[in-house]
Amino acid sequence: MIGGGEGAYIGNIHRLAARLDGAWRLVAGAFDADPERGRQFALAQGIAADRSYGTYQELIAGESARPDRVDAVAICTPNFTHYPMAKALIEAGFDVICEKPLTATLEDAVALEKLARETGRFVGVTYTYSGYPMVHEARARVAAGEIGTVRTVQVEYPLEWMATAIEQQGNQQAAWRTDPKKNGRGGSIGDIGTHAYHLAGFVTGLKLQALTADLATFVEGRALDDNAHVMLRYQGGARGLLWSSQVAIGNSNGVRLRVFGDRGSLAWYQEQPNELVLTPLDGRVQTLKRGAADMSEDAKARTRTPPGHPEGYLEAFANLYLGFAEAIRARREGREPSAVGRNLPTAADGLKGVAFVEAVVDSHEAADQPWITPIAV
C-alpha cells in the first residue's frame, strides 16, 4: 500500500475491506510522505521492518528484488500522484489498485489506460458503489431485459459536510478537495459526481453521447464547484439527469439511482443498500432483498449474510478487493474469473470518469452552452 498512514481515512477503509474475507494480506507499504511516521505506522500494522519503505520508488525497488514480492499495490495518495505511481508500478510489473479518480488530468488518464491495456497489468479503480450486491442485481436485471429498454436515468450524489467553508477552518479533507491543483478542475463533480456517473453507466450499460452542465459554487471563497447539474444524452436515445452536491444539508451520503425502462423501473438508495425496488409495467412496487433466493449469480457472489442481516459500505468495498484478487488469480492461472472477479471497475472506467468530469467543466465554461461530447473511449 502506498499512502494511507496514520489518520488517513480512505487508507483505513482499504485495509478493513481487504482484511474482511482474508483474500489479501498487507505485507509491505510506504504509508507516509514522512518516512519515519510511515515506519511507525507500518510497525503498528505488523509489517516487517524490511518491507516498510520511505517512498514508492523504494517500495518498487525493494519488492522487485524479493522472490515473495507483493501481488498488487494499492494507491491511496492524493489524486495528482496517482499517475506517476501507477505508471512506475505497472512498468515494474505490479498489478495496481487505485483510488478514484484514476488520474488528475485527462491526458494522464488516456496514457495510463493505454499502458494498462498494452501491458496486461490489472488496474482496479475503487468505484465503491459498484461493489454493492444490489447494484450488481440491478445491473443483471437491466441486462436481462427485465425493465425493457432504458428511457431515463435519475442519479444523484448529495452530501452535506461541505455546506460551510470548513476548508478555511482547518479541515484537511475539505482543503484538498477544493484546491484545483490537488483535485483537478471538477469540485463536487470530480469528487462525487464521477461516482454517480459510473454507477449509472454500470447499471444500465449505457454509453454517454453528449451532456450539458451547470456548475455552481455556493460557499464563498471556494475555488471549485460544490453543486453540479448535468443533463445527459446516452447513445440510443436514453436521457439522464445527474446531480452532485457537497452542500445539500440533510444528506450524509445520499447516492440514489433510479432507472426507468419501457417495461419497468428500478430504484436503489445507498443508505439502504440491501434493498432494490422493482416496479414492473402495470405492476406493484416490489422490494427485493439482498440474499433472497431469486438473486442473480453476480449478486450472490458478493453476499455473505442472509436477508435481513444488513451488509454495508465496508462489505461493498471488500467485494471490490475480493474481485481484484480473483481477477488477478484467474489471469495467472489462465482461466476465466468466477462471478466475483467479473464486472469490476478498471482503468477504462477510470478513464471514462476523468473524461466525464472534463466534459462537464467544458460544457459549463462554453459561452453558448453546446452539447459537449466526451472523447470516445
Give me the least distance between CB of 276 and a copy of itself, in Å please.
10
| Closer residue to a copy of itself in complex, CB, 291/337 | 291
CA pair distance 45, 54, nearest whole angstrom: 15
| β-strand partners of 259 | 153, 266
Reply yes or no: is the peptide bond before residue 310 cis, omega within 30 of 0. Answer: no
| Closer residue to a copy of itself in complex, CB, 282/333 | 282
* Sole residue written with cell 481484484: 324
Give me the least distance between CB of 338 and a copy of itself, in Å please.
16
| Closer residue to a copy of itself in complex, CB, 52/270 | 270
CA pair distance 73, 57, nearest whole angstrom: 12
CA pair distance 188, 355, nearest whole angstrom: 15
| Closer residue to a copy of itself in complex, CB, 65/294 | 294
Sheet holding 264-269, edge to edge: 208-216, 227-234, 239-245, 150-158, 256-261, 264-269, 275-280
Residue 368: all three cell numbers together: 453558448
Give me the least distance between CB of 62 and a copy of itself, in Å please.
23
* Sole residue written with cell 417495461: 263
CA pair distance 231, 66, nearest whole angstrom: 51
| Closer residue to a copy of itself in complex, CB, 61/377 | 377
Give me the least distance between CB of 22 and a copy of itself, in Å please.
6
Give me the least distance between CB of 85 and a copy of itself, in Å please.
22
Q: Which residues contact 272 (CB under 8 A, 6 or more apart)?
A: none
| Closer residue to a copy of itself in complex, CB, 304/331 | 304
The span from the first CA to the last CA of the chain, in angstroms, equals: 29
| Closer residue to a copy of itself in complex, CB, 3/261 | 261
In 3D, which of 40, 93, 375, 326 has the Cα closest to residue 208? Answer: 375
Is 201 in contact with 207 (CB distance < 8 Å)? yes
Give me the least distance between CB of 61 and a copy of itself, in Å please.
28
Give me the least distance between CB of 257 and a copy of itself, in Å please.
13
